[in-house]
Amino acid sequence: MCGIIAYTGGEDAAPVLFEGLKRLEYRGYDSAGIVTINDSGEFELKKQVGKVQDIHNELNLLDLSGSIGIAHTRWATHGGVTQKNAHPHVSNNSEIAVIHNGIVENYKELKALLVSKGFHFESETDTEVIPNLVEYWMDSKHLNFIDATMKTLQSLEGNFAVVLIDRDTRTIIGAKNGSPLVLGVGERKKNELFLASDIPAFLERTKNVVYLYDGDMVVFETDPSSKKRSYQIFDFRGRTERPIIRPIQSVSWNLSHATKGDFDHFMLKEIAEQVETIQKAAAQDPEHIQNITQSIRNAKGVFLVASGSSYHACLSAGYLFAKLASFHINTVIASEFSQYESFLKPETLVIAVSQSGETIDVLDAVKTAKEKGCQIVSIVNVVGSSLTQISHKTLLLNSGPEISVLSTKTYTAQLAVLSLLAYSLAGRYEEGVQKLKFLWNIVYNLTAATTRNKIKELATRLATHDHIFVLGRGPLYATALEAALKIKEVSYIHAEAFAGGELKHGPIAMVKKGTPCIIFVSRDTVKTILSNAMEVKSRGGYIIGIGPEPIESFDFFIKVPESNSLNPICDIIPIQILAYQLALILGHDPDKPRNLAKSVTVR
């Protein structure tokens, strides 16, 4: 939720910040704004409701002057989507500006304190208390900007990433507690520094990053005489007064991973990238896989914990662990994990799955497990994320940045990694690797233009419907759940998934003439799921079959070759394409679905 980008360097800040905002817009696109400090030492600020490019077309964000500034793209939490609620926010004395991701849970108490001291507020946001608290500490206690900011950070409750800029000293301060914030270090000759919610924001200018930890406060300062820019990291919680040393690491991502290239949308690009990303996910260190496999084998109780699409990947994997390795795994939605607290012991293993590694429900679940002494393994795509920092062991998806709000390539990458673990637990690791390699040709054909064009025909038929039902059995029930989610997220058509056997326990009452029903078929489930298909067909339903062979009862058929235990990886891809095509036909932006943002970092 929300995108943060800050810059100090030798070039004009506005173009750098503008490009950073466009690359972060998947994190929120309700409103956006930029503030810079010009050569006269004055703030120049522009912000507005809408998408970044539209705001630029109206206000010309590039004519803000100065070589230092901060910018924000918002996903609204506190306060409506209005110009006054857009970030950045400025203190009452116009000396301090702030951008913020997260929620200040005690903002009402802090706001009441500041109002009693004569402060006024322009917005409905919780964010506005932050610069005014800094002003309060600077004025009332005569603290400098750094000390006043540290005092302010210590008073904030909740998860946040925050960046402040002081007009007088031209100092930038960034801090994080449970929300993402990463430091970018430019080449020495360029003398540039960046802060951002995610690496793609500054990837064009540097691959050198410092992963910040919860409690870190980084200070950017510029020497007035030499103009040299430097940074120091402190612990704002006060556990040590000495600066903290965090290593500079080089990321392997290329700018092409964070741009659309020849594709119209990131969603379509990332669907196509699955030809490679599934293989990259499968290319794990065998020794590391065996080490985690042994942890699973030794544990007394194993939980798979995730949210959204990642939860569906875990649910599918639960079937695979049972079938391949005769091993039971508990699969729990992260937001409900606290209800299982009494089952957690030091011998329990929790496997947390998250694309971003910043999903607040997953982080809360892991923290609950760690309090009980559990071992934590994370499966995550973002190196240095909060989840990797609090896990004992980590498996990386290696998918590169996923910019589209909808999870596509990281969902199938999660399935690939979880499948490897299941095969490894069954003592069939090499077989699992080979089967995943075999998927290359299937995935290539499924993402090819011919398949996309065929699915576009189906999308044209379905776009006029208000309801779509999806059926599957076994692991393909989890696929049905993911399919329904994909359709809902981007087309806004109501889609609902059921286990095939549950159809006659109520849902069939909703079927009438022409009702579209997508049915996932595999060799294992063909007999039972086809009886469900006939139940729908006999009531006038329109049957879309996805599986290895066409069947007479299907009105529309999408061929997906049989891949046995790996069917869930391949079978979801046609639905990803269908969801994309539905969005286009209905006039929606597939990369920016309404009311959604890429990473859910607030409760």
Query: Residue ranges per domain, the chain?
Result: 3-257, 260-444, 448-592
- Whole-structure pTM value: 0.88
What is the dihedral angle through the alpha carbons of 92, 94, 99, 100, rounded to the nearest 10 degrees?
-20
CATH H superfamily, domain 448-592: Glucose-6-phosphate isomerase like protein; domain 1 (3.40.50.10490)
Identify any residues that bridge with 211 across adjacent strands, giving them in sequence order.
182
Q: Is 314 a catalytic residue?
A: no
534 or 492: which leads in pLDDT: 492
Q: What is the mean pLDDT of the chain?
A: 92
What is d(CA 85, CA 526) in angstroms, rounded to the nearest whole number?
A: 54
Instruction: Tokens for 197, please give them.
Output: 């919610």
From 2, 374, 517, 570, the catalytic residue: 2
CATH number corresponding to 260-444: 3.40.50.10490
pLDDT of residue 598: 66
Q: Is 372 a catalytic residue?
A: no
Options 3.60.10.10, 3.30.420.40, 3.60.20.10, 1.20.1510.10; CATH of 3-257? 3.60.20.10
DSSP-derived 3-state class of residue 283: coil
What is d(CA 601, CA 511) in angstroms, rounded to the nearest whole number?
A: 38
pLDDT of residue 145: 97
The percent of residues above 90 in pLDDT, for the chain, comes to: 76
448-592 and 260-444 share a CATH fold: yes
From 111, 269, 435, 598, the catalytic residue: 598
DSSP-derived 3-state class of residue 586: coil
pLDDT tens, 77-95? 777 889 999 999 999 999 9
pLDDT of residue 528: 84
What is d(CA 325, CA 57) in angstroms, rounded to the nearest whole number?
A: 57
pLDDT of residue 600: 64
Examine the pLDDT at 29 and tell me if it is beyond 90.
no
Examine the pLDDT at 507 and tell me if it is beyond 80.
no
Strand segments, DSSP code E, in 193-329 are: 193-196, 208-211, 216-222, 229-235, 249-250, 302-306
pLDDT tens, 115-162? 999 999 999 999 999 999 999 999 998 999 999 999 999 999 998 999
Interior angle at CA 533, CA 527 and CA 536, nearest 5 = 150
